[in-house]
Chains A and B, each alone.
Chain A
Amino acid sequence: MDPRPYLTVAVLLFLLGAAGFLVRRNMLVLFLAVELMLNAAGLALITFARMHLSMDGEALFFIMLALAAAESAVGLAMVIAIYRNRHTLNADKLDDLRG
């Protein structure tokens, strides 16, 4: 079995997520792009774990999954708080700190 196709899929997913994060402006879609990049990292972890027949990669995947759950809970709460105060989800409109 060859690890290269799996790693290529992981790279493609990461690039798609990064491109979406840079191009889209809707905060909820930015959020989905971050989740996509996390999943690309997860696929790479599982592939390397399988390649070296070491379960440490899968333990790391487990930790990444819990991190993603914590991140999405806090991130979505922040999106809700921002929407409540500013009535917009467009990330370009939230530029108060720009000089």
Chain B
Amino acid sequence: MHDALFWLCASLAVGGAALAMLRREPLKCALSLVTSFVALAGLYFQLKSPFPAVLQILLYAGAIMVLIVFVIMFLNDESAAPGKGDLSRGGLVFAVLLLVPLGWVLIRAIWNADWPMMRAAPEDFGTVPAMGEKLFTTWLYPFEVLSLLLLAAMAGAVLLAKKRLD
């Protein structure tokens, strides 16, 4: 049962990602990517991390992708449409030369390494109370810096997207 769920989510995640990189229109790419992100949330559930899984759906598949789809529809652009140089030949050669060896090394390393087998997780692993306690004790300082970063990003986005930059 667990295996079947894993294979379903894993193939949806990888398949959705592949489609997102292969389809021509940006809007369809974005929607394929949403599939991939929801499947990833399924994988997080199986890794006993319900809070990250819910965040993944709410923030990634929800908020961030809605923002991207909004911009794609807002810009409805012709200059990068299919058949007008959306693919880079040099980039393809570079990608094959760089990523085939990288992928080979990583996959070999993963399957040859001596990983500790996963033990049964404690009852409260990855739940909201446990995550909250971790975030507001050990990770308090990064958490506060993060709020500053989000504020700066918000101000920057408003400034950049304004009509005139003077």
Contacts and interface: CB of A to CB of B under 8 A. Distances in A.
Question: By CB atoms of chain B within 10 A, which of A15, A20, A25, A58 has the most?
Answer: A58
Contacts of B106: 11
A62 B135 contact: yes
B131 to A, nearest CB: 6
Contacts of B161: 76-77, 80-81
B86 to A, nearest CB: 5
B119 A28 contact: no
Interface residues of A, number: 72
B25 to A, nearest CB: 9
B17 A59 contact: no
Nearest to B110: A7
B59 A69 contact: yes
B110 A55 contact: no
Nearest to B162: A81
Contacts of B55: 61-62, 65
A77 B33 contact: no
A4 B55 CA distance: 24
Interface string A57-70: 01101110111111
Given A36-B36, A79-B75, A88-B79, A4 B160 contact: no
A89 B29 contact: no
